[in-house]
C-alpha cells in the first residue's frame, strides 16, 4: 500500500480557530484522549489520529502544532517529521514519547522539532509547550506571508533595477553604482526611484532592511546574507526530561 504524501501548505489567510488547531498522533488511545481533554478544556481544538498514515490520508488543513509519538505503527514519528519538512509544512512538532535516548532526541530537535516531552507527560508541560509552539507557528506564518509579499514586489523589478538595488544594499553611492554598471548618475537615480516605488519602501533604511531580511533570490549582493528564519518547525527547543 502506498503511503499518502503530505500536501503543500496553503498560503491563504487563516482565521478563527484554525490557528488553534492541534493534531495528536499516537497509537495509544488513552494518550490521545488524555491530551485531548487537557487541551480542549483550554479552548484548543484537537484532532486525533492513531497513525501517521491516518493523518496524511485525512483532509485536515495544516495544524499549528502536532503532538506525536516517535514509536508509531507503520511510519514512525521521525519519518513523518521528515515528510512534512520536505513538503514545506510550517507546523510546530512536539514529540511525546517513552523513547528518550539521546540519539532520538537529538534527531528530533535537529529535524526541526519544537519540543520533546517524555511520557508520562505532566499536564502543565504539555499546555506550556503547545502554547509556545502555537505562538511560534503564528510568527512563522506571518513571516511566510511577508516573504511572499516581498518576493512579489521584488519580482516586479527589471533586471537593471535589481542591479541597482544590489548596489544600494551593498552600501554603494549612486556614482559607484553608476561606474559599476556603466550608467550615468541620473539614470541610476531614476532606477533607484523606481525601486523605491515598486518595493513600496518609505525610506532607504526600510528598503535595505527588507532586502537583507528576506535575502531576495537573484539579488547578487545578498547571496552572502544569511536567510532569516529557521528551518521547518524550528523554535527554541524545550527538551523536557524527567528529573
Q: What is the mean pLDDT of each run of 10 residues along the chain (243 residues)?
A: 56 44 93 93 92 90 91 92 91 88 89 90 89 90 84 90 89 92 95 94 88 59 34 39 41
At 149 the pLDDT is 87
CATH at residue 157: 1.10.10.10
Tell whether 29 and 100 lie within a shared domain. Answer: yes
At 223 the pLDDT is 40
Strand partners, 47: 23
Pairing of strands 65-68, 22-25: parallel
Q: How many Å apart are CA 235 and CA 182, to the nearest integer?
A: 45
At 224 the pLDDT is 33
Residues 6+ away with beta carbon under 8 Å from 12: none
At 7 the pLDDT is 56
0.75 cut: is pTM over it?
A: no
At 51 the pLDDT is 95
Question: Which among 64, 60, 62, 61 is positioned nearest to 49, based on CA atoms?
Answer: 60
Tell whether 215 and 199 lie within a shared domain. Answer: yes
User: Is the Cβ–Cβ distance between 9 and 87 less than 8 Å?
Assistant: yes
At 88 the pLDDT is 87
Q: How far is CA 186 from CA 54, 86, 192, in A?
A: 62, 47, 10
State the CB neighbour count (10 A cutoff) for residue 81: 25
Residue 6 lies in a domain: no
> Domain limits at 162?
148-222
Tell whether 29 and 128 lie within a shared domain. Answer: yes
Residue 171 lies in a domain: yes
Q: How many Å apart are CA 207 and CA 198, to the nearest integer?
A: 11
Tell whether 136 and 188 lie within a shared domain. Answer: no
Tell whether 171 and 133 lie within a shared domain. Answer: no
Tell whether 133 and 170 lie within a shared domain. Answer: no
At 190 the pLDDT is 96
Amino acid at each position: 500500500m502506498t503511503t499518502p504524501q503530505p500536501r503543500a501548505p496553503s498560503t491563504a489567510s487563516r482565521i478563527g480557530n484554525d490557528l488553534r488547531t492541534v493534531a495528536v498522533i499516537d497509537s495509544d488511545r488513552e494518550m490521545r484522549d488524555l491530551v485531548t481533554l487537557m487541551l480542549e478544556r483550554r479552548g484548543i481544538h484537537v484532532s486525533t489520529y492513531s497513525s501517521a498514515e491516518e493523518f496524511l490520508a485525512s483532509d485536515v488543513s495544516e495544524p499549528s502544532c502536532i503532538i506525536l509519538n516517535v514509536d508509531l505503527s507503520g511510519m514512525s514519528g521521525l519519518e513523518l517529521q521528515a515528510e512534512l519538512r520536505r513538503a514545506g509544512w510550517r507546523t510546530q512538532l512536539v514529540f511525546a514519547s517513552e523513547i528518550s535516548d539521546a540519539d532520538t532526541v537529538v534527531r528530533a530537535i535537529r529535524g526541526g522539532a519544537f519540543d520533546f516531552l517524555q511520557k508520562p507527560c505532566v499536564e502543565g508541560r504539555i499546555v506550556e509547550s503547545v502554547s509556545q509552539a502555537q505562538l511560534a507557528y503564528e510568527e512563522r506564518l506571518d513571516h511566510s506571508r511577508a516573504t511572499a509579499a516581498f518576493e512579489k514586489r521584488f519580482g516586479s523589478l527589471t533586471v537593471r533595477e535589481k542591479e541597482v538595488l544590489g548596489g544600494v544594499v551593498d552600501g554603494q553611492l549612486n556614482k559607484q553604482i553608476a561606474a559599476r554598471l556603466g550608467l550615468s548618475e541620473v539614470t541610476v537615480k531614476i532606477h533607484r526611484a523606481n525601486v523605491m516605488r515598486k518595493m513600496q519602501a518609505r525610506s532607504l533604511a526600510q528598503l535595505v532592511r527588507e532586502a537583507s531580511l528576506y535575502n531576495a533570490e537573484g539579488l547578487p549582493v545578498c547571496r552572502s546574507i544569511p536567510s532569516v528564519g529557521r528551518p521547518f518547525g524550528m523554535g527554541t527547543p524545550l527538551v523536557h526530561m524527567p528529573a
